[in-house]
Structures are given as structure tokens and as C-alpha cells.
């Protein structure tokens, strides 16, 4: 009865969240940034007719290259993953359509790869090694004769074969970037992330400079144009097109932009940024309108800020599909879940409304947790668990193996960890079955246990996780919520609830 009650409660919560938000958003003529809260960096967006598709860097989270769908660029729904084979940490991709085929070009493991599909929903091909090393962040472009090229980091260009899955010749240096003033506070020059737009006889490169982390003012979006894919390049008089000028702003390290037009011909730039004091959330996806000048440059209109409500793009309103909760009634693992590094779907089975998660490793460090992309300053995450075998299982807020907090349960103890150290121990009087909860209140984290999922008991102290971000732990990731189990046996999880507050 308790299980049925919780599933009903969860279903009601999901209906209320999606239904009420959808009704409110239908009437709204404005939107607020971020358009995707949480760690969705290096966005690459594509419009096909009335539909928009987007993907992002997925780094060490697998399956990788999550493809999103929208009809208004504000409300997004997960469509599927394009990468199911581990090839390394996946950085800035480029999602494009050429002819009747879709391509995602991306760097991973010091190489450039491509996957292809006849539909954004997949199935996608296995990753193809393009034999390009020493570069990152490929961006696809096609000229009027149908010749295909990739723009690469450091200002290089290489020609592609007709099928787009191999190169012709060697990369050539064609663009030196835009030199920002030396007194600016940046991380590096870092000419990278070239994205292409062809308009009115010009080839535009939209690139990132300044470094993606470090000082709040480091990152920026820069534009240049030429009459051919190889240049010569003329830098925009409006550079930087997007930039955080002061650490007093809400959005830090604004950069890495992609241009897209809506169904009414209005233009937008989709990019990423850290939120001030909440770098734990990773680089979130933002969007601003852009305008074209009479002399064919684009810029963000004067007075427009990502901190303000903005007029929404043209397009039919999408249903929101970003919920992270999971009652495991779908018979398969939801698209909100990803493994960390060790992608092993054989560890997971979903049956009879429960997630069976097979243990891995002898300790948390190599347990490869199953994670969701937390996207709010304040949220709770809770789950019902049953231990089977000699295992330790629980909930974690996880950046990487060294940067994490977690509450674990075995048959003897509840233990709260901060990074690698056990901070709190409490005897387990609940046995093999119970509930766990973590509450993240603007980076102040507390831990709870329950015997019935209704009456909660806090496990002593709270912890601060403000420093769990790239500037401390590197890796370009975020603090995500999720499940883990190690030892011999499995944990059975149910009623996973992610609730912003």
C-alpha cells in the first residue's frame, strides 16, 4: 500500500509540474534564462522546418550526446542519445543536417569523431574516427557548390569528403581570431568552438575565446566573416558579441554561441554560462535575440540582458520534458539517467516498477554511479531502497570520484561522506529497506533517513558544496544527483523523486 501511495503521489507531482507549467507557459509571451537549467554546455542547435534540435557536450557522462527536441526553443524534451560507445570525454559537438542525413561532429579522446543518422531520434551510427588529432570543437560548413568543410580549434579548416565522414587533405590555418584587450581578465586566448552560419553571401564563424572557466569575465562569443570558407576573415566591429563584463553580473563566463533563426525569420544566439555562486550547476544553456545590421553583421540589441524577461521566439509551444523524477514504471531506464565514465547498461534492469542496480567495485570510488543533471539552486532528491546481498547503496551529489557528498546505507550503518572522509555514522535500525533523502539548499546540503518515506530524521550535520566545480576539481562537469551501489549483489530502487523548492 505504501508503495502504491508513493507512486500515485509521484505521478500527481509529475502531472502537476508538467501540466500547470504548460498552461502557464502557453499564455506567456516571454521567457527567462536559462532555457535549460543545469549542466548543458556548448550548445549546438539546429532548426528543421518547425522543429528545433539541440545537443551539448556530455563529457564523462554516458550514454552521451543527448539530443533534445522543441518547437519553440524554450520548452525542451529529451529525444534520445547519439553515443552509446565510450570514446573518452565528449566535448563541444556540432549537430547539423546535410541532405537527408544528420551528423554530429565532436571531439573525444584527443580525436575528432562523427556519428550519423537518418533522424535526430536515431538510431545513430557507431562513432567514426576521422583521423584528426590535435584539434577540438569541429564546426561543419558547406559552400554553394556543395563542398564540405570542418572549422577546427585554433583557426584551422579542413575539407571533408562528400559523405562527410572523412577528410581530404590536411587542416590549414585560416583564421587568427579576434585579439581582445590584454588588460581583460581571462583564462587564456583559447580560440575554439567555431560554428558556421552562411547568409547573404557571407560565411560567418561564431567562435569562443578567453577560456571557458577561470575568472568570471574570461569567456566570450566572437564573430568574423568572409566571402569563402577559407577567408580572408574580417572580425566583427561588435566583438565580443556576448561577454560577461563584470563579476557583479548574474551570469559568468558567457560564451560558446550558436546562431539559429526561428520560423518567422528572427535570429537568436544560444550559448552557455555559469550562474554566479552556483558553478556547481555547471554551464547552463542561455539564449538571447540577435539583430542583423544594414552592413550584414549580427549583434545583441542594445539594452538586452540575459538577466531580464525576454520576448519568446516564434513557434508552437512545446510540452516540457525536463523532469528528473522516475517511478520506474516505464519498463526501461529513463533518458534523464547517465552513468559516470563506465557505461555498462547491463548493470541495470527495470521491471515491476523498480530499478535493479547491480553493484560495481569494492568502494564508492569505482562504483560508477547513475546520475541525473540537477538544474536548480534548491532541490530535494529522495529514493526508496532495498538491499540485496552484501552491498552498500545510497544517494550522492557527485562531481567526480574526489569531489562528492553522499549518504550510504548497509545492513549495519548509515554513513555520510564528504569527499573521501566519513563524517557521520549512525546505526541502521531499519534493516535492508528504507528511504534516503538529500536536501540541497543553495549549496548547503543536509541528509535524511526514513523507515516509511513519510517521517524523516535528519542525520546530524550539514555540509557546504560551493567549491564542487571545475575551478577546483577540473573536468568541466557539475554536481549531479544520483544513485550508487557497490559490493556483492544489487540494490533495488523505487520512487526516485527530484523536487525543486
C-alpha cell at 112: 575528432
Q: Alpha-carbon distance 347 to 358, whole Å?
A: 5
pTM of the model: 0.93
Per-residue model confidence (pLDDT) at position 8: 40
Collapsed DSSP state (helix, strand, coil) of residue 136: coil
Q: Where in the chain is the domain with CATH 2.60.120.200?
A: 338-500
C-alpha cell at 231: 577567408
Residue 382: which pLDDT band, with cuts at 50, 70 and 90?
very high
The rounded radius of gyration (Å) of the Cα atoms in the chain is 23
Q: Assign residue 217 a region: left if phi > 0, alpha if psi is -120 to 50, beta otherwise?
A: alpha
pLDDT > 90? residue 294: yes
Smallest Cα–Cα separation from 418: which of 468, 372, 456? 468
Query: Average pLDDT for residues 368-377, to the nearest whole number?
Result: 98
Q: What is the CA 419 to chain-centroid distance, rounded?
A: 23
Residue 429: which pLDDT band, with cuts at 50, 70 and 90?
confident
Please state which CATH class domain 338-500 belongs to. Answer: mainly beta
Q: Alpha-carbon distance 27 to 206, whole Å?
A: 33
State phi, psi for 184 to the nearest 5 degrees: -65, 150
Smallest Cα–Cα separation from 408: which of 434, 376, 441? 434
C-alpha cell at 499: 523536487
Smallest Cα–Cα separation from 305: which of 293, 289, 281? 289
Query: Average pLDDT for residues 215-238, to the nearest whole number?
Result: 98
- Which of 24-28, 68-72, 464-468, 469-473 comes out lowest in average pLDDT? 24-28
pLDDT > 60? residue 137: yes
Q: Alpha-carbon distance 302 to 321, whole Å?
A: 33
Spell out where 85-241 has E strands: 94-98, 101-108, 111-117, 128-133, 139-142, 148-152, 156-160, 167-173, 192-199, 202-209, 220-226, 234-235
383 DSSP 8-state letter = E
C-alpha cell at 294: 544594414
Show the CA angle centred on residue 488, arms to residues 485 and 491, nearest 5°: 40
| Contact criterion met (CB below 8 Å) for 23 and 59 | no
Q: What is the DSSP pairing of strand 220-226 with strand 202-209? A: antiparallel
- Tell me the per-residue pLDDT of 9-34, one tens digit each, with 9 for 90 and over: 444 444 334 333 434 444 479 999 99
Q: Alpha-carbon distance 304 to 185, whole Å?
A: 23
Collapsed DSSP state (helix, strand, coil) of residue 353: coil
pLDDT > 90? residue 87: yes
CATH superfamily of 28-311: Glycosyl hydrolase domain; family 43 (2.115.10.20)
Burial pattern 334-370, b for ≥16 Cβ within 10 A else e, equals: bbbbbbbbebeeebbebeeebbbbbbbeeebeebbbb
Query: Average pLDDT for residues 244-248, to the nearest whole number?
Result: 97
Residue with the bigger pLDDT between 455 and 6: it is: 455
Q: Alpha-carbon distance 73 to 260, whole Å?
A: 10
Q: Where in the chain is the domain with CATH 2.115.10.20?
A: 28-311
C-alpha cell at 29: 509571451
Smallest Cα–Cα separation from 296: which of 197, 152, 434? 197
| Contact criterion met (CB below 8 Å) for 149 and 159 | yes
pLDDT > 70? residue 148: yes
- Tell me the per-residue pLDDT of 472-489, one tens digit each, with 9 for 90 and over: 999 999 999 999 999 999
DSSP 363-384: SGGGS--EEE----SEEEEEEE
Give the number of residues written for the chain. 501
Smallest Cα–Cα separation from 7: which of 328, 334, 450? 328
pLDDT > 50? residue 463: yes
Max Cα-Cα span within the chain: 73
Other beta carbons less than 10 A from residue 167's beta carbon? 18
Per-residue model confidence (pLDDT) at position 420: 66
Per-residue model confidence (pLDDT) at position 13: 44
Residue 126: which pLDDT band, with cuts at 50, 70 and 90?
very high
Amino acid at each position: 500500500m505504501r508503495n502504491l501511495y508513493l507512486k500515485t503521489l509521484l505521478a500527481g507531482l509529475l502531472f502537476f509540474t508538467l501540466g500547470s507549467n504548460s498552461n502557464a507557459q502557453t499564455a506567456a509571451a516571454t521567457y527567462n534564462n536559462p532555457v535549460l537549467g543545469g549542466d548543458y554546455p556548448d550548445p549546438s542547435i539546429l532548426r528543421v522546418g518547425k522543429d528545433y534540435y539541440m545537443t551539448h557536450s556530455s563529457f564523462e557522462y554516458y550514454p552521451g550526446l543527448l539530443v533534445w527536441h522543441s518547437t519553440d526553443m524554450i520548452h525542451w524534451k529529451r529525444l534520445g542519445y547519439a553515443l552509446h560507445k565510450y570514446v573518452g570525454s565528449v566535448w563541444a559537438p556540432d549537430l547539423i543536417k546535410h541532405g537527408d542525413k544528420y551528423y554530429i561532429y565532436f571531439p573525444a579522446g584527443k580525436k575528432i569523431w562523427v556519428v550519423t543518422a537518418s533522424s535526430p531520434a536515431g538510431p545513430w551510427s557507431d562513432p567514426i574516427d576521422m583521423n584528426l588529432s590535435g584539434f577540438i570543437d569541429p564546426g561543419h560548413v558547406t559552400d554553394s557548390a556543395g563542398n564540405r568543410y570542418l572549422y577546427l580549434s585554433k583557426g584551422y579548416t579542413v575539407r571533408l569528403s562528400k559523405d562527410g565522414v572523412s577528410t581530404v587533405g590536411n587542416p590549414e590555418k585560416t583564421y587568427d581570431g579576434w585579439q581582445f584587450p590584454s588588460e581583460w581578465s581571462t583564462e587564456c586566448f583559447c580560440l575554439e568552438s567555431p560554428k558556421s552560419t552562411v547568409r547573404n553571401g557571407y560565411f560567418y564563424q561564431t567562435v569562443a575565446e578567453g577560456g571557458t572557466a577561470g575568472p568570471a569575465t574570461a569567456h566570450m562569443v566572437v564573430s568574423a566573416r568572409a566571402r569563402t570558407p577559407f577567408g580572408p576573415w574580417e572580425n566583427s566591429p561588435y566583438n565580443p558579441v556576448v561577454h560577461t563584463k563584470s563579476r557583479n553580473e548574474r551570469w559568468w563566463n558567457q560564451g560558446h554561441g550558436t546562431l539559429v533563426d526561428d520560423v518567422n525569420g528572427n535570429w537568436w544566439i544560444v550559448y552557455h554560462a555559469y550562474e554566479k555562486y552556483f558553478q556547481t550547476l555547471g554551464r547552463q544553456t542561455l539564449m538571447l535575440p540577435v539583430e542583423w545590421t544594414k552592413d550584414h553583421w549580427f549583434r545583441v540589441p542594445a539594452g538586452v540582458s540575459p538577466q531580464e524577461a525576454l520576448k519568446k521566439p516564434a513557434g508552437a509551444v512545446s510540452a516540457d520534458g525536463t523532469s528528473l523524477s522516475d517511478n520506474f514504471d516505464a519498463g526501461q531506464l529513463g533518458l534523464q539517467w547517465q552513468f559516470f565514465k563506465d557505461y555498462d547498461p547491463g548493470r541495470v534492469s527495470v521491471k515491476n516498477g523498480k530499478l535493479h542496480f547491480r553493484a560495481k567495485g569494492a568502494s564508492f570510488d569505482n562504483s560508477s554511479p547513475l546520475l541525473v543533471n540537477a538544474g536548480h539552486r534548491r532541490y530535494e532528491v529522495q529514493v526508496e531502497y532495498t538491499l540485496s546481498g552484501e552491498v552498500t547503496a545510497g544517494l550522492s551529489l557527485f562531481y567526480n570520484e574526489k569531489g562528492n557528498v553522499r549518504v550510504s546505507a548497509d545492513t549495519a550503518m548509515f554513513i555520510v561522506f564528504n569527499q573521501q572522509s566519513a563524517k557521520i555514522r549512525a546505526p541502521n535500525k531499519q534493516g535492508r529497506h528504507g528511504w534516503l533523502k538529500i536536501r540541497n539548499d543553495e549549496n548547503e546540503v543536509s541528509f535524511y533517513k526514513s523507515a516509511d518515506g513519510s517521517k524523516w530524521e535528519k542525520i546530524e550535520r550539514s555540509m557546504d558544496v560551493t567549491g564542487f566545480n571545475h575551478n577546483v576539481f577540473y573536468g568541466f562537469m557539475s554536481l549531479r544527483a544520483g544513485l550508487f551501489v557497490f559490493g556483492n549483489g544489487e540494490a533495488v530502487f523505487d520512487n526516485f523523486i527530484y523536487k525543486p523548492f
